[in-house]
Chain A
């Protein structure tokens, strides 16, 4: 059942590195992460790779496989042709730490810049009433497993280090959208700050982020575009903002 596969693994650190060829067994039903683990256990004991759940739920094993941002645990070996060479490299938009592990701290800094959820002061424990249909819009974005593949693929920062300072990236646009659409959140002007402080305007909706999302969140269509469209007309209209929140009083 086992077949030999050729893997090219990037090995190195922030100072230097190169692709190294290894031949390794792959069994039926395995994913790229299984094969990397086999390399680690048998040929390269100190090969650095991040992983946790191995079921596509935690978003730790993000890397680039044949140049595409992927989760290694969700990339099946059977998706490659017999004899095809498989190249695994660390996420390119972030600094490398070692081998397949990148420094993703940029994302945690950006998370800190997004103002938190603000609960209505007059709404006590168990008093909230929300319709399922109203929570579903935000729930789609809360499926995010923070794999940061969308951040990695986004060309606004992938090839432009200088943009990182003023651009939060797709992961945090859906975070803002999630809070903006949250039926209870009390903080005003989230769309406006997305535009003015988090770089929403720099996105030119090429949908690369949506394409790589392992959770199939419609980042561009359901978060970025609606915010871009409404950022102008809602910007200075408090009556409209109130209208978007009023449903929580129902039922």
Chain B
């Protein structure tokens, strides 16, 4: 065993996607020394997969847009389970975060006047998504990657060392957040390349590890989406909020099997694509829920006119929030009107000229042509729901992104909970990363400046090291690959898009059993770039996350956003006032109820009271807000 590597930083950022990089830039610019941990190579994080755009009410395309409209759309999309303060900060600060990227070199698509162009997206009242074709996430991550390089170049000039104050540790996995005397002291992990262990001592840790999609069988997420940050936070004593809410993106590829789950951007619908079943019906008109009836067209003529005149027509129902569209597709397939591969058709070929499709949706054209042999300018795509995003996540203080209950711990981006309520609107993720990535960086910087670091004890180092060595000491134990597949079967079949109490109970038992067996995973080969070894640790995280999701799901006896209960259809006013808080007691996840903070009067008053009546109890309406 090689010697332990030790580093000291002011702020350790775990995760190098949009939120992590934005946090790192902020903390560095506040004058602190920052380390960025990246499970993959630098610049490969899942943010690159975001296609549609970043929502920000700049009002460049429709001057009627402003933060209040964006705030309302976000709360509606989340079915009023969002933490109001996060939704408020997000709506207010997104435009500045987009402009900032432009000042760092990003090149967004333009309007005729030369401003940043904005596109329509599900659940957004106005064209709101700043975009670069359908590769907006790549632009965002590359811009911040290059911003970090710029900061390093500056340090190279000033200190003769590019890594003097900000360093990227690529292909490194963190296995543990270390606390001493009740606060964060650092983190421990291993280099994926050589398997040697690393200790980071840092008074503040920002978790920005993204999502949990790999817990599920059909997902748009890459291997990295294993809920590492969710699990690290739980084990460090933080809470997870509302883990029952998973977003199944309505349009994943369904064929061929090897690409099943890979995303088909919502922009396809934003640009005019329609969903049809095998009878040729444009079926979404049948699935407009009561709460959205005044905003969505109930006939094809009006829906089609909307693309040309948005002020005098209601939106096409293909642009309903994602949870509604996913459930509709699921119902069509169940009713026998799906394709032979279990999807429905999504077609732009009959509605947009081929050259426009290739210009506006270049990577979609490329993806279908190369992976499925389908030319989307000539034929329809086959699509179906895929596990895409987790709304639930680490419970944080909205203004500082500080994890509740763990001094020194911060969380931002997909791994944080609360912002999106029960369902996230498309486009609100990239802006979330920027707004709360920055706030986490600021929060961590302020914390570090006001606190005294504590040293990591040798006992903690030894315990963390022993845990990494454990799977190598076992022989003939369980295979991590097989256990992962078993877990995915359980979540897919029993904790998926439609849930029932009895199945969830079954799932909780099965997950516990797999978790028990996972304690006996053994690893073949040595530590050098060994995926079997890496999966053993990822698996542990996924199991904890799945347990939290299943336990939160069985407790919520209603259907709302990304949580649909066959045995409790429909929303329930009582449940709208409740968050589910998961914590870890050392052996299992425990879920309890916590009251959701009520909307303050000034935000309450942004809504038509008749709309609020659809979501709130008469007592809440009578109060008219919390102050």
Contact = CB atoms under 8 A, between A and B. Distances in A.
A142 interface: yes
A52 B105 contact: no
Interface of B: 40-44, 46, 48-49, 58, 95-96, 99-100, 102-105, 107-110, 113-115, 117, 132-133, 135, 138-139, 142, 146-147, 149-150, 152-153, 156, 162, 170, 193, 222-224, 255-259, 262-263, 363, 366-367, 370-372, 479, 481, 523-526, 528-533
Contact of A251 (B114, B366, B524): B114
Interface in A86-144: 97-99, 101, 104, 108, 111-112, 115-117, 119, 123, 125-126, 128-132, 135, 138-139, 142-144
Given A50-B41, A54-B222, A57-B48, A97 B529 contact: yes
Contact of A57 (B135, B156, B162, B530): B135
Contact of B530 (A46, A112, A126): A46
Contacts of B149: 111-112, 116
B109 A60 contact: no
Contacts of B529: 48, 97-99, 101
A129 B114 contact: yes
Nearest to B139: A142
A51 interface: yes
Contact of B222 (A58, A117, A138): A58
Contact of A31 (B142, B147, B258): B258
Nearest to A120: B103
Nearest to B108: A135
Interface size range on A against B: 35 or more
8 contacts: A40-B481, A45-B531, A52-B222, A52-B223, A58-B49, A58-B222, A130-B110, A144-B142
A142 B532 contact: no
Given A30-B256, A45-B532, A126 B58 contact: yes
Given A30-B256, A48-B529, A115-B153, 16 more contacts: A45-B532, A48-B530, A54-B259, A57-B138, A104-B41, A112-B153, A112-B162, A116-B147, A116-B149, A116-B153, A119-B103, A132-B109, A135-B109, A138-B107, A144-B142, A251-B113
Interface in A207-251: 250-251
Nearest to B193: A97
Contacts of A168: none
Interface string A171-182: 000000001001
Contacts of A111: 149
Contacts of A74: 370-371
A81 interface: no
B375 to A, nearest CB: 15
Contacts of B162: 112
Interface in A66-100: 74, 76, 97-99
B493 to A, nearest CB: 20
A130 B263 CA distance: 31
Contacts of A29: 255-259, 372
A161 B132 CA distance: 37
Contacts of A135: 107-110
A150 to B, nearest CB: 16
Nearest to B115: A129
A49 B535 CA distance: 13
Contacts of A99: 529
Contacts of B114: 128-131, 250-251
B259 A49 contact: no
B524 A46 contact: yes
Interface of A: 13, 27-31, 34, 40-41, 45-60, 74, 76, 97-99, 101, 104, 108, 111-112, 115-117, 119, 123, 125-126, 128-132, 135, 138-139, 142-146, 179, 182, 185, 250-251
A108 B42 CA distance: 9
Give the interface centre of B95, B117, B259 by most chain A CB atoms within 10 Å. Answer: B259
Given A129-B113, A142-B107, A34 B99 contact: no
Q: Which 7 pairs from chain A and chain B are nearest by CB?
A: A29-B256, A46-B525, A117-B105, A129-B114, A116-B150, A125-B99, A45-B532
Contacts of B105: 116-117, 119, 179, 182, 185
Contacts of A31: 258, 371
Contact of A112 (B152, B370, B523): B152
A45 B267 CA distance: 39
Contacts of B224: 52
Contacts of A40: 481, 531-532
A117 B150 contact: yes
Most buried by B among A49, A50, A119: A50
Nearest to A125: B99
Which of A13, A52, A143 has the most chain B CB atoms inside 10 A of its CB? A52
Given A29-B256, A46-B524, A53 B48 contact: yes
A48 B535 CA distance: 12
Given A45-B479, A57-B135, A108-B42, A132 B110 contact: yes
Nearest to A141: B107
Nearest to A117: B105
Contacts of A47: 531
A220 B236 CA distance: 51
A131 B530 CA distance: 49
A76 B74 CA distance: 40
B138 A131 contact: no
B388 to A, nearest CB: 13
A115 B154 CA distance: 10
Contacts of A128: 102, 114
A53 B258 contact: no
